[in-house]
Amino acid sequence: MHEDAGGCCGPTRQSLGTPTVRPADAVAPAPTDATARTVDPSPRSPLVEIPAGEFWMGSEAAEVFPADGEGPVRRVSTGAFAIAAHAVTNADFAEFVEATGHRTEAERFGWSFVFHLLVHPAAADHVMEARVPGAPWWRGVRGATWRAPRGPGSDVADVLDHPVVHLSYDDARAYARWRGGRLPTEAEWERAARGGLEGATYPWGDELTPGGEHRTNIWQGTFPTVNTEDDGYLGTAPVDAYQPNGYGLYNTSGNVWEWTSDRFSATYHRHDKPATRVDPQGPRYGVTRVVRGGSYLCHRSYCNRYRVAARTSVTDDSSLGHTGMRLVVDR
């Protein structure tokens, strides 16, 4: 198994030697109360009600990455909440941008990370020379944004039902507020992602491809050079691809990593301490956040993090071509 070397599951802006201070206009103000909407996740992403309750969180299986802090398995409680059945789509985010004029951090910084096999041919001259140490498959591409996910020359016209990507934590938080919701805590995300199954490896059980059926969008072949696309996709898939879990949530394994509101810590949680919401003061530059779910780049050979208990982190200013979001609403 490969060492992660900062490449799993997403590099930070600093990994290319970029300035450590955000541009003065890097982050647009969050929508005000006057512009925020009543909860309306859109017909593309109906809400699923999750009642207050407890579940077994984490994993101690052999494939766990100890440095990620997945274990030990512990009993965790959450209050009632509602969570979107799907990740936020390009169509959803376009509606937000049209209504608010929001400019993402990728747009303000002027570049974002794209996987090397997905860089649009027209964007070849926009690829930055620097490489991510230990993860050269990531390319810094000038002009790569949610509107142009593969760099200049690409657009989202044919993938409006795919998850929006190239979002920083602040971008995701701004969208959630505009919709009248928020980002999930890590505990909420995992409880919903499990779909009611206790201790299962994946949202549907313990077998990756039961009966030979693909249930998630991950890498097949030899990473990072050959993807056989046995699951149907090289990059992102539609947000409702594959079967939903027991709660009716789609793609809580694979497709795109999803932001949570929690700061990352690799310290093992105590059995008697339930997870709590963190960072009540909001995001600050350099804060490392938990992302969950894995992505279309995950492969057992180096990043076996499409397991439902798996977790990783990225700094909140970073944006990548395999990271999106899902909406939660308080109940």
94: its two tokens: 């376009």
**22 found inside a domain:** no
Q: Is the dihedral of CA 265, 268, 80, 203 positive or negative?
A: positive
Which residues is 320 bridged to in the sheet?
A: 113
Residue type, 105: E
Q: Which domain holds residue 177?
A: 1-13+33-331
**80 found inside a domain:** yes
Model pLDDT for residues 227-275, shown as the tens digit of each residue: 999 999 999 999 999 999 999 999 999 999 999 999 998 764 433 444 4
**19 found inside a domain:** no
**25 found inside a domain:** no
Max CA separation in the chain (angstroms): 54
Q: What is the pTM of this model?
A: 0.89
Task: Name 257's Cβ contacts closer than 8 Å, sequence gap at least 6.
Answer: 9, 10, 291, 292, 293, 294, 295, 312, 314, 320, 322, 323, 324
CATH number at 289 reads 3.90.1580.10
C-alpha separations of 326 from 88, 229, 315 in Å: 6, 25, 18
Q: What is the dihedral of CA 55, 60, 65, 71, to 10 degrees?
A: 50
End-to-end C-alpha distance for the chain, whole angstroms: 42
**24 found inside a domain:** no
The closest alpha carbon to 112, from 324, 319, 322, belongs to 319
16: its two tokens: 């290319």
**259 found inside a domain:** yes
**21 found inside a domain:** no
When comparing pLDDT for 66 and 160, which is higher?
160
Model pLDDT for residues 176-211, shown as the tens digit of each residue: 999 999 999 999 999 999 999 999 999 999 999 999
Which residues is 76 bridged to in the sheet?
A: 55
**27 found inside a domain:** no
Return mean pLDDT, the chain: 87
The total number of structural domains in the chain stands at: 1
Q: Is the dihedral of CA 113, 314, 179, 158 positive or negative?
A: positive
